[in-house]
Amino acid sequence: MDPRQKELLKRFGSNVTLEEKEGCVYLSGEVSSWEDAVSAGQLCAKSGSKTHVVNDIRVSGLEMKETKIPRFTDDAIDGKRPDVLIIGAGVVGCAIARELSKWKLDVLLVEKEYDVALHASSRNDGMVHPGIDIHPGLVKKKLNNRGNRMYTRICSELNVPFDRCGQFLCFDRKNILPILYMTLPYWLLTGVGATRVHTYDSLRKKEPDVSPEVKCALEFKRAGIVCPYGLTIAYAENAVQNGVKLSLDTAVLKMKLVDGRIKAVKTNRGTVFPKLVINAAGVFAEDIAEMAGDRFFSIHPRKGTNSILDRKARRFVNTTYSLMGTQSKDEHTKGGGVVGTVDGNVLVGPDAIETPDKENFDTDAKSIKNTFLRHSQVAPWLKSGDIITYFTGVRAPTYEEDFIVEPGRRTKNLLHAAGIQSPGLTAAPAIGEKIAKLAIKKLKKTGRVEKNAAFDPVRVPILRPSEMSKAERAALIEREPDYGEIVCRCEEVSRGEIIAALHRPVPCATVDGVKRRVRPGMGRCQGGFCGPLVLKLISQNLDIPEEKVRKGTQDSELLFGPKGAAL
């Protein structure tokens, strides 16, 4: 008997069966909890294997939540025949779109949410990883290394703040120091890049506020930080600027296949007929693969929560640091620790919890408490009183815990960028490059594909007067007085910036959308003062009645209409 089946028998009795066919391991049956279903999958998966686990095990009594999709339908994209349809406008989908905009192609990028970067791409700690704990044989290792190296150029082209600040992995035992020196060749060999061993004193010169318990550390100089949704928005804007069509609020519902090719893709905004489809759907990549007749892997959602600390805490963190062994119980979480962000805050977390619900962004007091407890070991200055808010993201791992960046196995005109979890943000530029290369190769088989001579790699950012010199700022305000009217005082955001955010290549008409672009409401008062002002600016500038202005997603209108009207 297959040793994995034997093990399944031992753990779950005859409830779970395994069948290996067509290069996949199919699991079926019924167990009593989601944890069991996941551990059955993990038990049968081999890290990095190309033979993927497809997990069809049901959990008794568990009703899977339906995917949240827009309630409305229209014909906005009906009948379109794009060369490429990209599904999912997270950082990966947007990076692919921007890469493809270097070619003369009709590219349609669809996203079921009201904005780009709403799932994992806005719900992570923004670390650009050096790739220290990824096995060298994995797909994600290569893409991480390449992506990391691309960051400086990409961020300068897209005008996104990026700080290659480095990362400290701390140790609480002094006797480990000689071993740290011995690891140096390994880091060089595996492409992690410049690495330095720090003694007690040299570490404190860089990070004076790490716990006195920390005795030595490794510094990975290629680590950096970026604002993950800022980067995604910038990618999307630059793609649109170079000809990509973006359709938001657009959920893929069904696909029609003929002879192993996707002929038609039905959405709530019409049916489209693409030559090639790219699956960049994050936690929904498995669902898209299934619609496309190419489901050869499974995604098991894993959520993680981060706390955001007040700017006041930033003085304790120059870079990012964590204590070895405390990042997370789950070995698949790369980051973790305390991260100083490009926006001047500090992030603490994340944890890692398996969940059946792909859109479960709820936070829990327990997560916050546990991550604080864990990271206080390296950062004794952590105070829950400094928390200004917290957020949860859901990772999209396969059971093999590796990325799938390859052509469809059964469906011909399909490419997958699936199983993208940490370090997906780091790898995104490289995934974009690789998928675009595969796409061009496929498209060239059926016709000529030319370079887009008009491609402009530079994205013009929204002006940020508070970061300008006094003279520059004075000149700007003289030209455009709206930049002299501060609307959000915690983050010093002007009316001019907010109005600019409403008129960019990627549409934005919500309070949260504005917040992600220019930061009003990101500060310590969390929009208490500026929330109504931002709402009014959206209403006035986009001609939407105040009571129709939304916080974010559908049904999130903030107000019920003028008082005195019948309730």
**Could you give the residue numbers annotated as active site?**
129
* 361 contacts another protein (rule: CB under 8 A): yes
Cα distance between residue 149 and residue 131, in whole Å: 11
Which span (21-29, 36-44, 234-242, 521-529) binds another protein, by CB under 8 A?
A: 521-529
- Within positions 276 to 335, which residues make up the interface with another protein, using CB under 8 A? 312
State the Rg of the chain over Cα.
Answer: 24
* 557 contacts another protein (rule: CB under 8 A): yes
- Taking the complex as a whole, the smallest distance from the CB of residue 229 to another protein amounts, in Å, to 15
**Quick one: 9 or 387, whose CB is closer to another protein?**
387
Which residue in 3, 61, 212, 562 binds another protein (CB under 8 A)? 562
Which residue in 17, 39, 49, 363 binds another protein (CB under 8 A)? 363
- Within positions 113 to 142, which residues make up the interface with another protein, using CB under 8 A? none
- Taking the complex as a whole, the smallest distance from the CB of residue 284 to another protein amounts, in Å, to 17
- x/- site string to another protein, residues 383 to 412, per CB under 8 A? -xx-xxxxx---------------------
* 72 contacts another protein (rule: CB under 8 A): no
**Quick one: 260 or 481, whose CB is closer to another protein?**
481
Which residue in 293, 492, 541, 548 binds another protein (CB under 8 A)? 492
Cβ atoms 410, 293 nearer than 8 A = yes
CA–chain centroid gap for 371, Å, is 20
Residue for token digits 């703040």?
161
Cβ atoms 253, 267 nearer than 8 A = yes
**Angle 350-373-337 (CA atoms, 0-180°, nearest 5)?**
40
Cα distance between residue 24 and residue 280, in whole Å: 21
DSSP class of residue 510? B
* 552 contacts another protein (rule: CB under 8 A): yes
**Quick one: 52 or 375, whose CB is closer to another protein?**
375
**Quick one: 13 or 545, whose CB is closer to another protein?**
545
Cα distance between residue 218 and residue 316, in whole Å: 18
Cα distance between residue 125 and residue 223, in whole Å: 13
Measured N-to-C along each axis, helices 228-241 and 424-444 cross at an angle, to the nearest 10 degrees, of 20
Q: Count residues contacting another protein (CB under 8 A)?
A: 59
Cβ atoms 203, 233 nearer than 8 A = no
* 551 contacts another protein (rule: CB under 8 A): yes
Cα distance between residue 416 and residue 87, in whole Å: 10
**Quick one: 76 or 477, whose CB is closer to another protein?**
477
**Quick one: 25 or 309, whose CB is closer to another protein?**
309
Q: Which of 272, 281, 326 is nearest to 299 (CA)?
A: 281
**Quick one: 58 or 548, whose CB is closer to another protein?**
548
- x/- site string to another protein, residues 524 to 543, per CB under 8 A? xxxxxx-xx---x-------
**Quick one: 10 or 563, whose CB is closer to another protein?**
563
Which residue in 14, 182, 470, 543 binds another protein (CB under 8 A)? 470
CA pseudo-torsion sign 148, 153, 155, 158 = negative
Which residue in 364, 381, 464, 505 binds another protein (CB under 8 A)? 364
Rounded to 5 degrees, φ, ψ at 178 are -60, -35
* 508 contacts another protein (rule: CB under 8 A): no
* 68 contacts another protein (rule: CB under 8 A): yes
Which span (150-158, 260-268, 286-294, 469-477) binds another protein, by CB under 8 A?
A: 469-477
DSSP class of residue 451? B
What residues have CB less than 8 Å from 91, skipping those under 6 apart?
Answer: 117, 121, 228, 231, 232, 235, 424, 425, 428
Q: Quickly count: other Cβ atoms within 10 Å of residue 504's Cβ.
A: 19
* 560 contacts another protein (rule: CB under 8 A): yes
Which residue in 77, 272, 368, 431 binds another protein (CB under 8 A)? 368
Cα distance between residue 340 and residue 337, in whole Å: 10
List the beta bridge partners of residue 103: 451
* 564 contacts another protein (rule: CB under 8 A): yes
Cβ-count burial of 524 within 10 angstroms (0-12 exposed, 13-18 middle, 19+ buried)?
Answer: middle
Which span (92-100, 319-327, 452-460, 465-473) binds another protein, by CB under 8 A?
A: 465-473
**Quick one: 124 or 319, whose CB is closer to another protein?**
124
Cα distance between residue 43 and residue 53, in whole Å: 10
Which residue in 153, 173, 489, 503 binds another protein (CB under 8 A)? 489
Cα distance between residue 219 and residue 321, in whole Å: 9
What's the residue count for the chain?
567
Which span (1-9, 10-18, 214-222, 468-476) binds another protein, by CB under 8 A?
A: 468-476
Footprint of another protein on this chain (CB under 8 A)? 68, 312, 361-365, 368, 384-385, 387-391, 465-466, 470, 473-474, 477-478, 481-482, 484-486, 489-490, 492, 494, 524-529, 531-532, 536, 546-547, 550-565, 567
